Amino acid sequence: MTKSTEEGSLVGQVRRSPGPTGEVPPARTAPSQTVVGQPGARVRTPGNDGWRNHAEQYFLSHGDALWKAAQAVPPLNRFLNRTIVNLAVTKLPARPRPLSTIAPYTSWPALVDRTYTGRHLPPVEDQESGRASVERTASLFTREPGRTKLCSRSTVLLPYFAQWFTDGFLRGESEEPRDPRRNTSTYDMDVNQLYGLNPDVLAQLRAFEGGRLKSQQINGGEFPPHLCRNGKIEPEFSRLTPVRFDTLSNEQKDGLFACGSDRANGQIGFTMMTVLFLREHNRIAGELAERQPRWDDERLFQTTRLILTAMLIKIAIEEYVNHIANFRFRFRMDPHGLGNPAWHRQAWISIEFNLMYRWHSLIPSTLQVGGQEMPMGQTIHRSPLLPEVGLGRLIADASEQRAGRLGLLNTDAGLGMLEAQSIAVGREVQLASYNDYRAYSQFPRITDFRQITADPAAQQLLSEVYRTPDDIDLFVGLMAEDPAPGAILGPLLQRMESTEAFSQMVVNPLLSPRVFHEGTFTAWGMRLIHTTGTLSDVVHRNIPEESEQFFIGMAARQTAR
């Protein structure tokens, strides 16, 4: 967390918070509301989320034997998959939405200009009177040094994959000054993290031989080429410019890899995922070339890209989404089984979805890298660690370490600036309150800070930062809610995430029944897609330099640290 120029360092402090004008807001309670400590206040119970919502959550997260038996019958499994996906997506109104961030009213550009981000609810003005400053509000997130609260279910591989995967479609502007209303997203989950956002970038990454991407061998493993020499970007990669490139030393620049994403050389988890899928692309291209000797480079490349993209979507649904949902029912990618639902519309990310995916508290303050503990900040721009330690070993380290628990008071101080930015973005685009989004998502409005979380420290801080529960920022409320037993995300966050995720992923052109077949992917490609369901599958066929079999997973083993 950076210092506030007005309030000084607020990390770890608990006190009455000044409002935007510097005054301390008096306690304020609407007629139907209570605050912490007031007589008659209701504490958090399942009923706070609505008994119907609680019943649905309980039904889907219990009865393991029953769900397994039902899903063992293919026609019943397909029916359940279609029904439950539809149930999840229809919790929120379907696209097209009448609004985007271009204006507070419906217009033709608001309906078609996707360089502006979509939005669910109209902007709300004059919200500042019941809220503390951005800096003070961001202190809600800061963890005490050395006191990471760990998630009981997830490993560090979860945030590593989540950051890499979502960067393919949750992309704001990279150049300063940034306009929070605008985006550079392609929306279609096209693996632009690997292939770049436009043809000019892709052309500099392709080998134009055998459908492959450019690569090099280091210590027996395959890696992207180096981007720089003597601190200067190589001419063949002139279209590739990493973020914050000018802030790096020449030594750091020479360690960067040439990749499609401008963020690929940031945190080491992002770099690991990029290298893994580069290897998988080139492995698939090599297999296809052997099976299709008469195909030219262009067809080999394009078919390889389609196979890899469909495979990534399958992993996202069948490992990533299933892990987050924690249901006994297991979702699966079934392009032929969803029918033609009313919500099957063009992908368009919302500003709310962008904010709800900022899971900074999942990152522990100290990370396991190559068997050693490393402060989180030292894993930034450390691409050379991959060939030094080994890709498989690094992914295994992430799989053996517990992630942090999502919530307040659990973000490393070094990431506090990102939490402040998220709060500031929500206020700049005038998002409606957390309570408004609960009502929009078919949850009861909360009337007491204790209905959000059982953590007394978080309750107290919320009551000091906000006058009433109706003043809570959406981003703060999403992260503050206690999850249901066994879940990772709070109820509102889980509902909005699952609704947006499914409605964005399954509308990918590759999953159209007229596209998803052997004519697109080849018979071998279809088998590869169908037999790949986890990151572990991809890792273990792409680490020839490492003979060891590693545990790879987003779900923690009992032995995970």
On the CB side of 408, CA atoms within 13 Å amount to 25
- Considering only CA atoms, give the Rg of the chain: 24
Q: Give the pLDDT of residue 9.
A: 26
At 342, list the tokens: 């009313």
Length of the chain in terms of residues written = 561
| Helices 391-400 and 157-166: angle between axes, nearest 10 degrees | 110
313 within 8 A of 335, measured Cβ to Cβ: no
Residue 343, judged by CB atoms within 10 A of its CB (0-12, 13-18, 19+), counts as middle
Residue 29 covered by a domain: no
Helices first, then strands: H and E counts in the chain: 22, 8
Look at residue 545 and tell me if it is in a domain. no
Question: Measured on CA atoms in the order 159, 165, 169, 174, is the torsion positive or negative?
Answer: positive
Residues 6+ apart with CB under 8 A from 135: 4, 6, 7, 10, 420
Q: Please tell me the distance from the alpha carbon of residue 382 to that of residue 256, in angstroms, as a whole number.
A: 8
For residue 381, the model assigns a pLDDT of 92
Does residue 41 sit within a domain?
A: no
> CA nearest 209: which of 136, 316, 282, 305?
282
pLDDT value, residue 486? 84
- Predicted local distance difference test score (pLDDT) of residue 44: 74
- The H-or-E segment that residue 318 falls in is none
Q: What is the pLDDT along the chain (561 residues), one digit of tens a residue?
A: 333 322 222 222 222 333 333 333 333 333 333 333 333 345 677 778 888 988 998 999 999 999 999 999 999 999 999 999 999 999 999 999 999 999 999 999 999 999 999 999 999 987 778 999 999 999 999 999 888 999 989 999 999 999 999 988 888 776 667 899 999 888 888 999 999 999 999 999 999 999 999 999 999 999 999 999 999 999 999 999 898 899 999 999 999 999 999 999 999 999 999 999 999 999 999 999 999 999 999 999 999 999 999 999 999 999 999 999 989 999 999 998 888 888 888 899 999 999 998 999 999 999 999 888 999 999 999 999 999 999 999 999 999 999 999 999 999 999 999 999 999 999 999 999 999 999 999 999 999 999 999 999 999 999 999 999 999 999 999 999 999 888 899 999 999 998 988 888 989 999 999 999 999 999 999 999 999 999 999 999 999 999 889 999 999 986 444
Quote the DSSP letter at residue 28.
-
Whether 452 maps to a domain, the answer reads yes
DSSP character string of 394-462: HHHHHHHSEEEPSSTT-B-GGGHHHHHHHHHHHHHTTPPPHHHHHHHTT-PPP-SGGGT-S-HHHHHHH
Helix H or strand E segment including 530? helix 518-531
CA angle 360, 383, 399 (to 5 degrees): 50
Could you check whether the bond before residue 469 is cis, i.e. omega within 30 degrees of 0?
no
CATH of the domain at 343: 1.10.640.10
Angle 171-176-160 (CA atoms, 0-180°, nearest 5)? 35
Structural tokens at position 48: 């706070």
Q: How remote is the C-alpha of 545 from its chain's centroid?
A: 30
Domain limits for position 209: 46-224+259-540
Task: Note the maximum CA span of the chain.
Answer: 79
| Residue 158 near residue 362, CB atoms below 8 Å | yes
Taking CA atoms, 274 is separated from 10, 257, 281, 285, 453, in Å, by: 37, 10, 10, 17, 37
- How confident is the model at residue 36, as a pLDDT? 39
Token pair 């200067």 is found at 232
**215 φ, ψ (degrees, to nearest 5):** -160, 175
Confirm whether 523 is domain-assigned.
yes
pTM greater than 0.95: no
517 is a domain residue: yes
Domain assignment present for 323: yes
CA atoms within 13 A on the CB side of 52: 6
Query: Using a CB cutoff of 8 Å and minimum separation of 24, what contacts does 172-181 make?
Result: 172/354, 174/243, 174/262, 180/101, 180/351, 180/425, 180/428, 180/429, 181/101, 181/102, 181/116, 181/117, 181/351, 181/429
pLDDT at 174: 65
Ranges assigned E (strand) in 256-353: none
Name the nearest CA neighbour of 255 among 371, 396, 388.
Answer: 388
CA 203 to chain centroid: 28
Number of domains in the chain: 1
Give the rounded distance of the alpha carbon of 38 from its chain centre. Answer: 37
Do the domain assignments include residue 424? yes
Burial (CB count <10 Å: 0-12, 13-18, 19+), residue 356: buried
